[in-house]
Structure 1
């Protein structure tokens, strides 16, 4: 048997031994010919709401389920927080190899990752202009691992390298480049595969669509959910969803699935830049969620250039929750300024443009301009921002589209060719958004000026109408 398939069979046997239930209507399939690693495929027709598999909470790779939870003080984990704590646990289980309770699971996780953390410098250069480069944070992660994780491993070396005579020596080596890269790998696996694990008795309140607030989601502990993370994701074809129960996590079909079809989860509304950063690939299915960010530094530079940068107004806007590090331009269909432009950015520009007496009047009432009533001056400034943002890219949209080659992401092209093609797809998506914003703003300004001209003509005609009393 092929080692790849052998690892899959060993994993499924281990999974069932944990008490998991796996439907005989699905199989774990080798999809490497499609650059998709493993995937889950239906072998028989599946009904809507049918359970595909159920994983006991005890089989989840979480901090609480790891031996480390009983060997290291809770205060240490509390200090590290959910993210670093799970990285520490993943490291512990990884270095213990076949003695780990999750060894068969680790054996099917990818050994090489394609996320931006592992791209070469020339590959990252292809993303010049995209704000996603600022989200990689490799240097800051190195500093955090060195400051937070390495001292814990050294302090509890005897636990971390249990039964090893060289435990302390190995712990001292954890701060070197090789082991920091291993920490990056564990962090990237968590970012790509981990789920927010709701407690058995969750007190969270969901809205009518089943979603909860980002603040509540951020507070949830993260955990690796074996088998659930074998599902590939698709924004259009997603047909399964993970449900949280008291003792199990159940993956259920959300629509009927035909035999032979792949079973997909969904990552949610992620732009392709974040899809690439977190999961190492892009697909046109997520173009509908693309975003371009206009940084606050860009806004403040333009405001300073126009002599409208006023600290008192910014402080007031900050109190009102308007000032942010950046403002998004989102995709919408059809594209409209109201749907795509950040309302906070429009409010910021309108406030900076207000005459002093009007601003003071609004501030006394604790109010803000309404973004839907944006005027021509704010639109003109917004247009300048869009053009300045477009100029931050090293290439134009036309150059990118003209140089785009037919690189098959599921074909035999080299890894570097695929990475260049994915970076180009991200650039093109962002530049297309900026182009749409530019055209929409130009049309908005033309319409405003036309309306203004018509109003002036109407006022003049009314003033000059026979029988109307003339102004002295």
Structure 2
């Protein structure tokens, strides 16, 4: 406890020496009893918009602020991209120990994680058919470290291990399992705690009317923002937000906060599966964002079995940006099929089901079926698809719900009981969503009396109703 508290006090002292302003109404709190590590708690009532703390930009652990950026060409960092660049800088600063300006920050950041990257095979198996298992990316991260990061460390070994006669050997040793694990640790810290740091001065081109150009593919540099990374998050309990100013990053209250309340940041609308993957915990407050992914491979297999798969139609849909590796089924409140089913998935199914003449007519006009106008055949196919997706899980929803007793707050790092419970909560949420959609589709099929009873809607020109997908962003 003394080391835990001592590291926290040393961190706060470093922050103040770095020019940070911290409200006397907040404090860093030990929340390990709630499996939440450190957190920030109000000690007095706080008003809406009140400043909680102000971190000078110079205190952010970033590529721009690290000495390493002065020793390695900017083009090298550009090649690595924001993610690997920050991992490289954090490795450099961490290996410098007490000589690093951010030594106090590393002392309060976790060295062990509950994220899926660190789960064992039997623990991951408890997630069953959840698509999140395929998003962990440990192998691909290893490839990036070996193929992109370590060559840079070897090229600039005299910089990375300055004043060390064994610099070339140390750079080569970065390939060892121990150092690859250290790289994963830095990557996990970034995934869980880093912010996209908007520059103090925009570098976007401005046209004659004063409008800045928007580049959706332009990746913002990432940085570790001290103290801001200590805030936990819990969906609707979000009561603070980070604001980007010219010389600082300011955390302000979004609403009145009472003395004793924890201060929460916002992770956005993440499904519990991604919350577990990125942050290593879940809460029921994120159940409202749960998602089930239906893979394109599953659609292809079922369409092939039903003899409706067509490469020509897939190519046309690909041109229209309808084809994806997977399609999301999301929670909606109040529940409706239109809100929960991916519109691209509905368009894909309806296009595959079109008679040849109708498809050629659609293609000639460059149109797509309207996702809100599901035909009976489309509804039946989607019903079979959802049933098949639900059957991919190893256990039934009823069995999971009957055996589930909640997520224990006891057990240290790596507790199998806790990890098994979190995995079960994730798969229960996904199965409940699939069952809700399955029941709604079955009801729709019964109500419409089968495929032969439902004619297609025809517009004023005598054409089958077509239109865009009304594309929604995937979670």
Length-normalised TM-score, structure 2? 0.91
Q: Which residue of 2 aligns with 1:142?
A: 142
CA distance in 2, matches of 1:214, 1:270: 25
Deviations 1:144-179 (A, max 9, x none): 100111111111111111222222221111001111
SS at match of 1:200: coil
Q: 1:368 to 1:451 in 2, by over 3 A?
A: closer
Instruction: Tell me which residue corresponds to 1:422.
Output: 422
Task: Report what 1:92 is aligned to.
Answer: 92
What is the total number of aligned residue pairs between the two structures?
A: 448
CA contact (8 A) 2:48 2:257 kept: yes
Q: How does 1:11-30 map to 2 (within 5 A)?
A: 11-30=11-30
Question: Paired residue for 2:379?
Answer: 379
Instruction: Give the deviation of 1:394 after TM superposition.
Output: 1.1
CA contact (8 A) 1:154 1:172 kept: yes
User: Is the contact between residue 196 and residue 217 of structure 1 (CA under 8 Å) also seen in structure 2?
Assistant: no
Shift of the 187–372 alpha-carbon distance from structure 1 to 2, 3 Å rule, reads: same
Q: Map residues 254-293 of structure 1 onto 2, 5 A cutoff.
A: 254-293=254-293
Paired position in structure 2 for 1:470? none
Please name the residue that 2:441 is paired with: 441
Matched residue SS, 1:335: coil
Q: CA–CA distance in 1 between the matches of 2:148 and 2:194?
A: 21
Using the alignment, how far apart are the partners of 1:388 and 1:452 within structure 2?
23
Residues 18-57 of structure 1 mapped to structure 2, 5 A cutoff = 18-57=18-57
Change (3 A) 1:179 1:412: closer
Q: CA deviation at 1:400?
A: 1.1
Which whole-Å CA distance do the structure 1 matches of 2:450 and 2:308 have between them?
Answer: 26
User: CA 1:216–1:251 in 2, change beyond 3 Å: closer, same or farther?
Assistant: farther
Kindly tell me: are residues 424 and 157 of structure 1, through their superposed partners in 2, closer, same or farther at Cα, counting changes over 3 Å? same
Alpha-carbon shift at residue 296 of structure 1 (Å): 0.3
Moved over 4 A (4+): 410-414, 450-455
Compared with structure 1, are the counterparts of its residues 273 and 215 closer, same or farther at alpha carbon in structure 2 (3 Å cutoff)? farther
**How much does 1:406 deviate?**
3.8
SS at 1:377 equivalent: helix
**Structure-1 residue corresponding to 2:298:** 298
Where does residue 67 of structure 1 map in the other structure?
Answer: 67
Distance (whole Å) between structure 1 residues aligned to residue 83 and residue 194 of structure 2: 10
Q: Secondary structure at the match of 1:262?
A: coil
Q: SS at the partner of 2:372?
A: helix
Take 1:216 and 1:249, find their aligned partners in 2: how far apart are those partners? 23
**Aligned-partner Cα distance in 2 for 1:214–1:398:** 49
Matches within 5 A, 1:161-240: 161-202=161-202, 216=216, 219-240=219-240
| Offset from partner CA, 1:54-74 (integer Å, 9 cap, x none) | 011111111111111010111
Structure 1 distance, partners of 2:338, 2:204, is: 31
In structure 1, the partner of 2:461 is: none
Query: Once the 2 structures are TM-superposed, how far is the Cα of residue 201 of structure 1 from its aligned partner?
Result: 2.8
Name whichever of 213-222 and 361-370 sits farther off. Answer: 213-222
Q: Secondary structure at the match of 1:78?
A: helix
Computed over aligned residues only, the root mean square deviation of the Cα atoms, in angstroms, reads 2.0
Give the Å deviation of 1:214: 11
- What's the offset of the Cα at 1:127? 1.2
Q: Please give the secondary structure, in 1, of the residue aligned with 2:437.
A: helix
**Match for residue 121 of structure 2?**
121
**Which residue of the partner structure matches residue 463 of structure 1?**
none
Residues 266 and 217 of structure 1: CA distance in aligned 2, closer, same or farther (over 3 Å): farther
Structure 1 position 399, deviation (Å): 1.5
Contact 1:86–1:222 (CA under 8 A) maintained in structure 2: yes
Q: CA deviation at 1:186?
A: 0.4
Distance in 2 between residues matched to 1:178 and 1:70, nearest whole Å: 28
The 1:214/1:83 distance shift into structure 2, 3 A limit, reads farther
Rounded Cα–Cα distance in structure 2 between residues aligned with 1:18 and 1:132: 40
Q: Secondary structure at the match of 2:293?
A: strand
Equivalent residue runs for 1:306-455 within 5 Å: 306-409=306-409, 415-449=415-449
Q: Once the 2 structures are TM-superposed, how far is the Cα of residue 413 of structure 1 from its aligned partner?
A: 9.8
Following the alignment from structure 1 to structure 2, what is the Cα–Cα distance between the partners of residues 101 and 73?
Answer: 21
Larger radius of gyration: 1
Report what 2:462 is aligned to: none
